[in-house]
Structure 1
């Protein structure tokens, strides 16, 4: 089973610190999310794990082998998908899958891939470059799954997918990780996506690993609540899972973790004039740490 061990990693590029004193172990059958105010640190980490760039200090070992020195040997183990890559795949879906399966004996069979595609409403006779953007992203991920990679690095992989497509592909990815003991590391700017589908979220700020959030359940996601007016029982809200990030005389803003129904009775104050509930951002979450 594959394991990634990162120790005291430092990477600087064009006078920007991308990773600083970054240490982490990534284990088999685990889906890890990278959260940052931008994708620079995550993209740099992907390049370093894949051996596409040299680190400035520290080490990255994949099954005890240096990720850069052994990059040619390790290449067959690592798959990469960039959700922002607009390049299409050539040929029909059938030709893409046939070529992939033929070149990768350690992956899954064409019949298995075809069954997966059918569930996603992707047909073998369709031209790959004619697929709608979300389904094309799904196909690119399935190609990497078909190769049987033990490490999947996914940069904002569902950027073009709708909610149904996103749920479908993550159900597939999580099942793949569990059954094959693969390591999946992905970046996203969506807290809800990370909290629903990752086993852990690594919060990175200015290149430093600020916090690791372990996710035991995936039934709720954080939200940002803004309350205007007076009389809101802050202390009680905090016992229910709230974290205040801004408090003024007539406004309070906080992150709420848990079932929003539990919070509603506290919002029924006659002196509260306005309530807004919105998606929480990575920047908001970083204020916790």
Structure 2
């Protein structure tokens, strides 16, 4: 349910995608894509992946990394959202980069914590799972605090343009019914071309990509956090039928909604 590996990027498949959450410590600078959006991190970074996100490494040389993978049945980030607000901040956050930069001291602190986790996971003595969950929760809490601080700092250094500041809540309100960038551009009194350019500059993604990711994120939440049928979820998300929804989902995720639910499971907090 939880694994810790010291590995290299060369050991990953061409497109890495698993049914578990992943935390990757990146001591060196790397180039990679997450769900086909390109990123380039600096040294001493930590990357967060949700189940069935697509990761692809670039670059000619392989880099050493530390990898933690855990299943939602081992540690449910939704169940622990009061203790660690990492869901929507570290994981499942479509509006910011999927990694955070750490100073050398903080990076070393997390490396030591992960080494303790690796020892505990290897020995498997009495109460090991409880200790591992505590270590993992501490790791997530530290990273959530760092991410929140960095987001605040970024807004001070490069505040959102007045119009774009309204885009995120607008998308959250209308993504189910409105999937055309022109709708959001019109509401914000911008031309579609100008809106698309500014969104790409601010978020690193096109409006179409953000809308698609928001729809898929909601689909994943419904599949993992509820007992609704695929047909019910398709209707909820305003798809004409479950077959169109399944094709849309599979194109973005790489497997059908039913396969996703089977692999990831239904959460203990499902209603």
TM-score class normalised by the smaller sequence: under 0.3
- Structure with greater proportional helix content: 2
Would you tell me which structure has more strand in proportion to its own residues?
A: 1
